[in-house]
Amino acid sequence: MKKVIAQSEIDVNEEGYLLDFQQWNKKIAEELAKEHNISLTDKHWEVIDYIQDKYKNEEPLSVRGIKNSGVLDIKEFYGLFPGGPLKVSTLIAGIPKPKSCI
């Protein structure tokens, strides 16, 4: 489905995740973050860069990966993206939600 955000039109799934990473930009991320009552700080951007990097290299994303990344510890990760940090951070970063096989 289509969604208009930050003066651009993006394609998203039922849960609001971007379907095409090419459509993502920083303005969109800021608006998506606002919808989750998050105002993006430098630390948020560091995390977003890290998970986008993982996604581009097709490496699985996990809470452990975050822990070992040296970017931040897990409590901080929860603090930055309350209510399911991987779920929320991937949505803002414009990449798919972590999934299982079914």
Which of the residues 4, 58, 99, 101 is marked catalytic? 101
26 binds other proteins (CB under 8 A): no
* Number of residues near other proteins (by CB under 8 A): 26
78 binds other proteins (CB under 8 A): yes
- Which residues are CB-neighbours of 70 under 8 A, at least 6 positions away? none
45 binds other proteins (CB under 8 A): no
Of 52, 73, 72, which is closest to residue 61 (Cα–Cα)?
Answer: 52
CB-nearer residue toward other proteins: 52 or 78:
78
- Which residues are CB-neighbours of 1 under 8 A, at least 6 positions away? 11, 12, 13, 14
Q: Catalytic amino acids?
A: 101
